[in-house]
Amino acid sequence: MASFIQLLVSGLATGAIYALIAVGFTLLWQTSQTINFAQGEFVMLPAFFVLAAMNAGAPFWLAALIGIALSIVILGILFKVIIVDPMLKYGVLPLVISTIALSLFLKESAKDFYSSQAQPFPALVPPTDIHIFDAVVSTQSLLVLAIAILTVIALHILLNKTRIGRQMQATAQNPTLARILGIPVQRMVLYTFLLNAVLVAIASILVSPIYLAKFTNGETLGMAAFIAAIIGGFNEVRGAILGGVILGVLDNLSAAYISSQYRGAFPLIILIAVILFRPQGLLGRIEERTV
């Protein structure tokens, strides 16, 4: 039972990180039909920005801010302006290919210009354990969980309670109508890219102390984000959060209780089951097919 609680907490922590990545992924899809195959690499990269800033002498908190800022500029603005905008007129497929090439580009760049070795990444808190009943829970897991939950709450308030957030939602749901209502659609699309950049940067800072900063991190993280988004529902932010949490918990529990060799396989089996029996995802709406 004690180990179950430990696994549950660390699963929730991983799941919360997955959720942040998946939310960004679905936001991009909703507002600009961008399926970002480089999303995993987007999470891998900010950790290297932070490390580079620290090598230049910045303290961790400043380096983290620099990492988030660089991420906004490079993974938000430049990604949209250089890669997405010129491609949109060709439809979804070429853009998918382009983001696949981008993921290769970012991965190899991190390897060649930084290091091919896994880099230790500073933890947000000193690694101590807290005893809750019988279970030993690391403070790191709890902090990750807390930050992720705060981020999700902030995101929820931004999207549902503010004017900009509601304009973004309107843009996602019906761009034509949004434009008629006087919403600056292009600016809203840009905001979602910025939001995605912030989310992946936060996820990167949270996940790197656990996994170490390594150029291959994006492969598993990107896959987790796709699967979380599909499980929850591709067109629902809440769905992506639910999908991420389910995935994180199941991943940890199945690795401990069923088979660690096939750890990577369980999320894939869930994915196939969801596609078979509930293709719109747990919380998703069925999209009308348009001519």
Partner 1 sequence: MTRVGIIAVVVAAVAAIAAPFFLKPFGIFLISTWVVLTIAAIGLNLTLGYAGQISLAQGAFVGIGAYTVALLTPLGVPFFAAFFAAGLLCFAIGWVLGYPALRVQHHYLAFVTLAFTTLVFLVLRNEEWLTNGIYGITGTQRPILFGWKTNGARDFYFLCLGVLGLLSLATWWMLRSPWGRAFVALRENPIRALSLGLDTRLYTLMAFAIGSSLGGLSGALYAPLVQFIEPNSFALGLSFNLLLMVIVGGSGNFFGPFVGALVAVLLPEWLRVTQSYYLIIYAAAIMVMMAFCPSGLLGLAERASRALDGRRAVTKTSVPTEGAGP
The answer to whether 29 touches 234, Cβ cutoff 8 Å, is yes
Distance CA 3, CA 9 (A): 10
Shortest approach of partner 1 to residue 19 CB, angstroms? 18
Distance CA 88, CA 217 (A): 28
Q: Judged by CB, which is closer to partner 1: 53, or 95?
A: 95
Beta strand spans in the chain (E)? 129-132, 135-138
Distance CA 265, CA 2 (A): 26
Q: Judged by CB, which is closer to partner 1: 154, or 268?
A: 268
Q: Judged by CB, which is closer to partner 1: 18, or 234?
A: 234
Q: Judged by CB, which is closer to partner 1: 184, or 264?
A: 264
Shortest approach of partner 1 to residue 220 CB, angstroms? 9
Joined together, the tokens standing for residue 195 give: 């939001």
The answer to whether 231 touches 274, Cβ cutoff 8 Å, is yes
The answer to whether 116 touches 42, Cβ cutoff 8 Å, is no
Shortest approach of partner 1 to residue 141 CB, angstroms? 26
Shortest approach of partner 1 to residue 114 CB, angstroms? 13
Shortest approach of partner 1 to residue 82 CB, angstroms? 8
Shortest approach of partner 1 to residue 166 CB, angstroms? 26
Determine if residue 136 is left, alpha or beta; phi over 0 gives left, psi from -120 to 50 gives alpha, anything else beta.
Answer: beta
Using CB under 8 A as the criterion, which residues of the chain lie in contact with partner 1 when the complex forms? 35, 83, 86-87, 90, 92-98, 100-102, 104-105, 108-109, 111-112, 219, 223, 226-227, 230, 234, 261-262, 264-265, 267-268, 271-272, 275-276, 279, 287, 289, 291
Q: Is the dihedral of CA 261, 267, 271, 273 positive or negative?
A: positive
Type of residue numbered 58: A
Bridge partners, residue 131, by sequence: 136
Q: Judged by CB, which is closer to partner 1: 106, or 148?
A: 106
Q: Judged by CB, which is closer to partner 1: 56, or 291?
A: 291
Q: What are phi and psi of 288, to 5 degrees?
A: -70, 140
